[in-house]
Amino acid sequence: MDKVYQHQETEGKWSSFWEKQGYFTPEINPKKKPFTIIMPPPNANGELHVGHALFVTLQDILTRYHRMKGNSALWLPGADHAGIQTQVVYERILEKQGKTRYDLGRNEFYAQVYDFTLKNKEVMEDQLRRLGASCDWSREKFTLDPAISKAVYLTFKKLYDDGLAYRGERMINWCPRCTTALSDAEIVHQEKEATLWFIRYPLIQETEKAGQCVPLKEKFIVVATTRPETMLGDTAVAVNPDDKRYKNLIGCKAYVPLISREIPIIADNSVDKKFGTGAVKVTPAHDPTDFEISERHNLPKIQIIGFDSKVTAEGKRYAGLKFNEARRQILEDLKKEGFLEKEKPYLHSVGRCERCNDVVEPLISLQWFIKMKPLATLAIRAVKEGKIKLLPRRFEKVYYQWMENLRDWCVSRQIWWGHQLPVWYCGTKGLSDLQRRLNDIAETPGCGEVIVAAEKPSECPKCQNAKLIQDPDTFDTWFSSGQWPFTTLGWPKQTSDFQYFYPTSVMETGYDIFFLWVTRMIVLGLYCTGQVPFQTVYLHGIVRDAKGQKMSKSKGNVINPLTVADQYGADAVRMALVFNTTPGNDQNLGEDKIRGMRNFTNKIWNIARFVIDFKPDSYETGITKTLQAEDKVILEELKKTQEKVTKSLENFRFSEAAQTLYQFIWHQFADIYIEKAKSRRAETQAILEHVLKVSMELLHPFMPYVTEEIWQKLPHQGKSIMVAPWPK
């Protein structure tokens, strides 16, 4: 053996060997129990980061462990087209070339992005291999594979036929930068220091109330707002019905300052008496709560901020101004005309697009939605009945809260990259003005019939018009990836893979996409297949730097897993990632920790050199019955280690298993037993080989490369440690 472990030579050799031997590809064997993990598909628009390295490590540990246990262990890899995020990335590339997607046109833009993602996907797969991922590459999938796309369309058609998918004008989250609707789960809320402005709304002094003309003593009703520019779209002032301060004003009327629109003063239980003055402006077209108030009170909805972030014609003298410019002008005019009573600092939450970080604007828009309440009921029951286990268990509470309060899911996106909706219109009559503008669609005659079909229809079923227009919108990425656990196995066809490997065993992913992705998989899995998509959900935390800060390029604290793997070895990176990780909690990772695990790798190598290279010329080949006390102790400790590691892995306690092995190999085996064994090598050689071999088999899921290299040099049966039986 070399004096120093050479990970650069070892890793490529064994990775290639395992794959060529077909060890990554499980057989469908009714006599074997299947174990299935469907890889959370990394976005095919960039390199892997340290968060990917964590899930690769944890999922590979589980897969290798169950493979050694004799299960048909399938770890199915794949990549996500990542709709909005990939479009944003590629548009930035075009921007550097002085181009926009409109310069290319939809078809050319789509083709270029497709090539871009395929190239990234290839790089990403090599990176996964480099980290030791024992995926079944023969079953690798992409969210835009034709078979998966067909399944996605069939799901939407089924939802539509069942009355669960519909098109309607609803309040949506609009990202001005990405020019698309977003779901609630795609919004990142950030606390921001802002201003609360108190504005006087003039009261109509004599107003008809309960059939009488009632004179009012007050001249104004004062409302507090953080968004004065939206007052141009106010259609009411609301107060709490139990607020004694405003009892006499309920049913009266006021004017919207600056534009003199007459609006009613209404009572609604949603108003917080403690916020501001207890009276709030109601802008139904630009606030979700106000939209719901308007539905209850039959108020008009006036959109005064357009999809281009400019004030619409409804804003009268402010029309055409960007909303931030309109705010400055409105505040000046309110002060000038005596309507601004006061202002004070205020801390409030601002919604931002998780992809581009632009402030999101609530707007009313014609979009496609999925009714979530009927679907969420099934998903709640699945967890309550124990069909799906969430780890850590504390996520059950937030899961129930989230699912019980789900609003209908807006699944249409105004982007070009992704699955185009399987919806056709007879003529442009069915398209919204926004769709026509964003896609430059010329007016086409037709009856306006809406046709939802898994494949393009030949003609309109109502008027037989053959010139149908496909809806230009695409699906929310999470709609297709929400079907990932079963579409990757061949659903809707009853393939042998689907019948054998589904439901899957474990979904291991980060808690940060629990609501974005995991909940959608549960909902769609139950709806489409009638079965849970997985039996256990294991949620890991975020990997932070050594000081506990979030990694970011701007801070310069990002650890590239491939760079440190080149320097210290993939085994060291894997062990560092799993050490001290606990379900649902963030963990700190610095280069010192990785270096420490490189030292552990070297320690294992030195142990192996002592056992293999420096063995005596003659020794007993079997473990003798007449054992010394130290022999009995190490064999008993090995047994305890095996039992503890097995139990820890069965219960997803990865760090506990890793620490148990670290403690046993370094301290009990090397520091204590080997030191005592040096003086009696002929008697202890067989014990040394046995303990080392079993230790390598227990450690293999965590550190696959160095364990294979050492195991091959020890007396063994079989071709590889990867398919050796798990120690008993």
Asked if 668 and 521 sit in the same domain, the reply is no
Identify the pLDDT of residue 51: 87
pLDDT at residue 284 is higher than 90:
yes
- Per mean pLDDT, which range of 4-13, 337-346, 445-454, 549-558 is the poorest? 549-558
Q: Which pLDDT band holds residue 527 (cuts at 50, 70, 90)?
A: very high
Q: Which pLDDT band holds residue 485 (cuts at 50, 70, 90)?
A: very high
Question: 430, 460 in Cβ contact below 8 A?
Answer: no
Question: 287, 236 in Cβ contact below 8 A?
Answer: no
322, β-bridge pairs: 310
Asked if 77 and 213 sit in the same domain, the reply is no
Identify the pLDDT of residue 374: 95
Q: Is 463 inside a domain boundary?
A: no
If 0-12 CB within 10 Å is exposed, 13-18 middle and 19+ buried, where does residue 658 land? buried
Asked if 637 and 696 sit in the same domain, the reply is yes
pLDDT tens column, 4-55? 999 999 999 999 999 999 999 999 999 999 999 999 999 998 888 888 999 9
Q: Which pLDDT band holds residue 289 (cuts at 50, 70, 90)?
A: very high
Report the CATH number that the domain containing residue 348 is assigned in CATH. Answer: 3.90.740.10
Asked if 347 and 381 sit in the same domain, the reply is no
Q: Which residue has the higher pLDDT, 507 or 440?
A: 507
pLDDT tens column, 605-645? 999 999 999 888 887 777 776 789 999 999 999 999 999 99
Asked if 227 and 346 sit in the same domain, the reply is yes
Asked if 212 and 340 sit in the same domain, the reply is yes
For the chain, give the percent of residues with pLDDT over 70: 98
Q: Which pLDDT band holds residue 548 (cuts at 50, 70, 90)?
A: confident
Asked if 391 and 478 sit in the same domain, the reply is yes
| Mean pLDDT of the region 332-338 | 96
Asked if 188 and 318 sit in the same domain, the reply is yes
Of the residues 481, 515, 543, which one is the last residue of a structural domain? 543
Report how far apart, in Å, the C-alpha atoms of 659 and of each of 123, 259, 536 are: 33, 69, 24
Q: Is 376 inside a domain boundary?
A: yes
Asked if 124 and 206 sit in the same domain, the reply is no
Q: Is 584 inside a domain boundary?
A: no
Identify the pLDDT of residue 214: 57
DSSP codes, 475-528: E-HHHHHTTHHHHTTTTTS--HHHHHH-SEEEEEEEGGGIIIIIHHHHHHHHHH
Asked if 287 and 415 sit in the same domain, the reply is no
pLDDT at residue 95 is higher than 80:
yes
Q: Is 292 inside a domain boundary?
A: yes
pTM for the predicted model, two decimal places: 0.91
Our count of domains for the chain comes to 3
**What whole-number distance in Å separates Cα of residue 354 and Cα of residue 367?**
20
Report the CATH number that the domain containing residue 378 is assigned in CATH. Answer: 3.40.50.620
Q: Is 438 inside a domain boundary?
A: no
Identify the pLDDT of residue 46: 83
Q: Is 538 inside a domain boundary?
A: yes
pLDDT tens column, 114-149? 999 999 999 999 999 999 999 999 999 999 999 999
Of the residues 508, 524, 543, which one is the last residue of a structural domain? 543
pLDDT at residue 434 is higher than 70:
yes
- Write the CB contacts of 412 (distance below 8 Å, at least 6 apart in sequence): 181, 367, 368, 421, 471, 473, 474, 475, 476
pLDDT tens column, 138-147? 999 999 999 9
Question: 328, 175 in Cβ contact below 8 A?
Answer: no
Phi-psi region of 2 (alpha: psi -120 to 50; beta: other; left: phi over 0): beta
Q: Which pLDDT band holds residue 368 (cuts at 50, 70, 90)?
A: very high
pLDDT at residue 102 is higher than 90:
yes
Asked if 337 and 411 sit in the same domain, the reply is no
pLDDT tens column, 587-616? 989 999 999 999 999 999 999 999 999 888
Q: Is 19 inside a domain boundary?
A: no
Average pLDDT, the chain: 93
Asked if 709 and 603 sit in the same domain, the reply is yes
- Segments forming the whole domain that contains residue 402: 32-164+371-421+473-543
Of the residues 543, 572, 602, which one is the last residue of a structural domain? 543
Report the CATH number that the domain containing residue 597 is assigned in CATH. Answer: 1.10.730.10
DSSP codes, 389-423: EEESTTHHHHHHHHHHTPPPEE-EES-SSS-B-SE
Q: Is 22 inside a domain boundary?
A: no
